[in-house]
Structure 1
Amino acid sequence: MAQPLFQTLYARLAIGLFLLLVIVGGLFTALSLYSVREYSAAINQALNRDLASHLVSDRNLVTDGKINHSELERLFTLYMSINPSIEIYLLDKDGRILSFSADPTKIKRKHVSLKPIHQLLENPDAYPLQGDDPRSHDRRKVFSVTPVPNAQNPTGYLYVVLRGEEYDFAESMVHGDRLLQMGGGALAISLFVGLLAGLVFFRLLTRRLSRLTARVEAFEAEAKDLTTVGAADRANVPGDDVDYLTTRFDQMSARIAGQLELLKDKDHQRRQLVAQVSHDLRTPLSSIQGYLETLGMKQQKLSPAERRRFLNVALAETLRLSKLVDELFELAALDARERQPFSEPFMPAELLYDVVQKHRPKAEQAGVVLSIVTAQPAMVLADIAMTERVLDNLIGNAIDHSPESAEVKLSVTTDSEGVEICVLDDGKGIAPEDIDHVFDPFYQAPGANRSGHAGLGLAIARRMAELQQGRVCVENHPGAGAAFRFWLPLAGSTVKESTVL
């Protein structure tokens, strides 16, 4: 499945780099504009720091130690026409504005702070130093100042704002646009070059991760037929490649841990199986060996009847050994799926009657009555031979565990999806601690008689039922023995995998 573009680590790194470059570029542009303004103000104040004193001396604003107000008015008029970028104010010694060259309608202050004025007079090189702008209550501008009529006997100050209203307007129209164009161009070029370099670098960094993610996805797609439990679809995992690989690693580690536990359990079962098989094989072999050795050593001393009895016992043990080996091979073939069912429609009720007739001699010999109490007609889709083998094992097991003069009841009932064959015996039932293990190979309840039984019949019955999409279960029946229920799907019905035990 194709990985969404924005779920790749490369795409997310590219987006993050782009946003980072935009933020850094914006901050750089803002700081650059601020720095240019401060630099421009510093240069302006440095070049014009003596402008106020030159105006006093050049325009004869002080005559006989007093301010010449008529000449001051002409100065205001002159500079409003020839240099509107500056504004000239006459202040008293307390900072009150006495007269000015600006538009009277735009003057908002009546008083100017003297602190920056004193700082600049005491240290003329302390620029950029900003003072109050009479046209605003909060704005500050660079300025030039000189005491009048002189520094020895000042009665006020000539206060020159170097960036007046006209300067601000011209700067906003020309200089500001130019700075924005330059800053925007520099930002765009920086973003393009930085983004291109970052994309190439991130591609080199993430291409191995992308190849690893693609290989994991390919492995997941190939392994879906083997195991889909807990598999994570790429589209359903939020995040990028790292998040996806983390999820897959967690699932893989959980699966490996589960498989290790399963292997431990299988190894324990294998060891137990080997011990049980060895015991079950050794018993008939020892019996056969003992009787044959006795016949060989005491052949002349034994009567014909004793020899026949010894031979019959050896033959019976041989048959028992042969049956055990056949069941072992049969169970191994079923577990390895080497034997597959040939499904065809048939009537389970009819098959049950035939199987009961086959087991009736054995039941009569054991003093057990076989009876079919219910036989509802229905057609199933299953393997006839396997179904007969399951019924043989269930009925044979019921006869073996029923006391003399007991009754084994059989029934065939139907539901909306399948047919259930129930085998109910009159035994003592199954202990609660044993009921979950009755279908395990070689399992025998503690104290049970193992004579003639290898414990494989019920295990084979369960494997055959599962291969036919059916199931076998057991429960203790109130007032009687154990009830084994064998379920098969109806012909034409669809069975979900989760219904198979």
Structure 2
Amino acid sequence: MIKTLHGRLTAIVVALFALSSVLALLLTSSTTRAYAEEERQRLNASLAADLASYLKQEKLIPVTNANMEEGMEEIKRLMTVNPSIDVYLLDGKGRIVSSSTALDDLDREAVALEPIDRYLQPSPRLPLKGDDPRGGDPQVFSASRFRGGIVYVVLGRTEGTLVDALAGSYALRAAAAMFGGVALFSIFSGGYIFWALTLRMRKLVAKVDGLSTELAGTGTGEAPHGCDEIDGLDHAFDSMAMRLRSLVEALQQADTERRDLVANVTHDLRTPIAGLRGYLETLLMRGEALDPAERKDHLETATRQIDRLSGLIDGLLELARLDSARLELHPEPFVAAELAQDVLQEFRLRAKEKGVELRLKTDDGDTMIEADIGLIQRALANLVENALRHTPSGGWIEMAATREPGVVRLSVGDSGKGIAPEDLEQVFERGVRIEDAKGGGAGLGLAIVRRIVELHGAEIRVQSEVGVGSRFCLFFPVRA
């Protein structure tokens, strides 16, 4: 099947030229045959009259029983001069009385008089065809009336197909060759012109596909089978429009998330700032009246508020850095189980102070992955810190690094409060806080974890049950 537009246009032109050439040859053959018949009838217009005059002179007409046989022999003798004609003597009603052909060989016993009457009128419109007593299609003839009858001469037969006509006519062969040459020239020149005309369309398709690639990072995909340039452009445009719509929706979603994040962060920033201001104003106004223990308590509280502000700002900066298009990953191979042990070691002192048990679970499988070790460490630290914040004293936090078919799984589980099922879908959204499960915080930690996982082409899942605990699982493809 022809896929390109210029190929299809060329095929249409070829078909049209082939059809028009055949029609032209048929028309030429038909008109040539009609012209030949017209000229033959015109040139032999007096033939029947001359035969009638000769037969009358020889007293062979009118036909009688006495001269019938002699007349037939004379007609056969005359036919030796022009054997392509057939001569018939008709009575006044068109019945065949005598013939140059044996009467038993004829298919007709009579000839229609209407064409003869039209032929004998002054200035008849030629060619005129009458019945052929030997059967077949009507043929041109010459006719002349005499007293009591008609001399009717069939002027040869025009038969055969177009192929026969081409074989027997140099003019038709020359016309066919001319049509063929014109058709070939038109095919090649038309094909080149169509190719040149559709070149700009092909360039436009390439530009649209290139723009879609820039927008989506991938091309528009392969066009459906049998598509030409117009179908390809339509496919590329639809793909680009779909991608633009998804980008607009993503931008709108990002703008909504940004607004929500700003509102939540503004609230979270205002709280420590208000507390910090209150304690500092108290120190300024009543600093001399406070004993050293109270001043120390106020300063420690202010320091905690500063730390909280610093954590919020660091989270915002970290999230902005991860969202930046200029961020470059530095992947390197490392053993996930060893990294998990290092992360847990950072939190052992805090966990001991809170009365939370830290556990590490590994297996004998190969947990080698290739990723940015700094970002993965940050993600695991966020998960452990989140679990430590919401796990009560006497509880436990477990980090696991195990090998599964095709992936390495890193997970952080706890025996905390858990997350309600209706809140699981939005737990990774920026600025979203599940108060029953998480308490304070700006809701940036899990958003940072999800972004780090996405940057590595990995997958994150969460399992949780209220009152039992939660488990966050990260799945990294096995290093080839």
- Structure 1 length normalisation: TM-score? 0.82
* Aligned partner of 2:414 among 425, 437, 442: 425
* Cα distance in 2, alignment partners of residues 461 and 110 from structure 1: 109
Match of 2:221 in 1: 232
Match of 1:96 in 2: 95
On the 8 A contact 1:85/1:163 being kept in 2, the answer is: yes
**1:237 Cα deviation after fit:** 4.7
Match of 2:270 in 1: 282
* Aligned partner of 1:141 among 130, 139, 142: 139
1:375 has 2:362 as partner? yes
Deviations 1:183-229 (A, max 9, x none): 213323432554466456x34xx635313413533674797587465
On the 8 A contact 2:115/2:130 being kept in 1, the answer is: yes
On the 8 A contact 2:60/2:71 being kept in 1, the answer is: no
**1:318 Cα deviation after fit:** 1.0
Structure 1's unaligned 5+ residue stretches are 495-501
RMSD: 3.5
Are residues 128 and 344 of structure 1, via their aligned partners in 2, closer, same or farther at CA, if it must alter by over 3 Å?
Answer: closer
Match of 1:51 in 2: 47
1:81 has 2:69 as partner? no
Number of matched pairs: 472
Match of 1:40 in 2: 36
On the 8 A contact 2:358/2:396 being kept in 1, the answer is: yes
* Cα distance in 1, alignment partners of residues 456 and 75 from structure 2: 112
1:176 has 2:133 as partner? no
* Cα distance in 2, alignment partners of residues 439 and 64 from structure 1: 122
* More deviation, 400-409/261-270: 400-409
* Cα distance in 1, alignment partners of residues 466 and 58 from structure 2: 129
- The AA in structure 2 aligned to 1:438 is V
On the 8 A contact 1:132/1:141 being kept in 2, the answer is: yes
Match of 1:114 in 2: 113
On the 8 A contact 1:343/1:384 being kept in 2, the answer is: yes
* Cα distance in 1, alignment partners of residues 77 and 157 from structure 2: 15
* Cα distance in 2, alignment partners of residues 351 and 11 from structure 1: 61
* Aligned partner of 1:472 among 452, 460, 479: 460
Query: Partner of 2:140: helix, strand, or coil?
Result: strand
**1:22 Cα deviation after fit:** 1.8
On the 8 A contact 1:86/1:161 being kept in 2, the answer is: yes
**1:364 Cα deviation after fit:** 4.0
Match of 2:179 in 1: 187
1:356 has 2:354 as partner? no
Are residues 19 and 258 of structure 1, via their aligned partners in 2, closer, same or farther at CA, if it must alter by over 3 Å?
Answer: same
Are residues 74 and 383 of structure 1, via their aligned partners in 2, closer, same or farther at CA, if it must alter by over 3 Å?
Answer: closer
Identity %: 34
On the 8 A contact 2:208/2:240 being kept in 1, the answer is: no
**1:411 Cα deviation after fit:** 3.5
On the 8 A contact 1:341/1:467 being kept in 2, the answer is: no
- The AA in structure 2 aligned to 1:72 is G
Are residues 385 and 8 of structure 1, via their aligned partners in 2, closer, same or farther at CA, if it must alter by over 3 Å?
Answer: closer
Match of 2:315 in 1: 327
* Cα distance in 1, alignment partners of residues 327 and 428 from structure 2: 20
Match of 1:312 in 2: 300
On the 8 A contact 2:144/2:151 being kept in 1, the answer is: yes
- The AA in structure 2 aligned to 1:456 is L
1:160 has 2:153 as partner? yes
Query: Partner of 1:332: helix, strand, or coil?
Result: helix
Deviations 1:55-112 (A, max 9, x none): 2124326859833646633541342111223211112344332221247786433333
**1:321 Cα deviation after fit:** 0.9
On the 8 A contact 1:128/1:142 being kept in 2, the answer is: yes
Query: Partner of 1:66: helix, strand, or coil?
Result: coil
Deviations 1:395-442 (A, max 9, x none): 221222233433334444322434323332223322222212212222
Match of 1:498 in 2: none
* Aligned partner of 2:16 among 17, 20, 26: 20
Deviations 1:145-202 (A, max 9, x none): 2334x2xxx3x3221112258x99xxx79993223223213323432554466456x3
Query: Partner of 1:113: helix, strand, or coil?
Result: coil
* Cα distance in 1, alignment partners of residues 341 and 177 from structure 2: 95
* Cα distance in 1, alignment partners of residues 60 and 95 from structure 2: 24
**1:139 Cα deviation after fit:** 1.4
Match of 2:442 in 1: 454
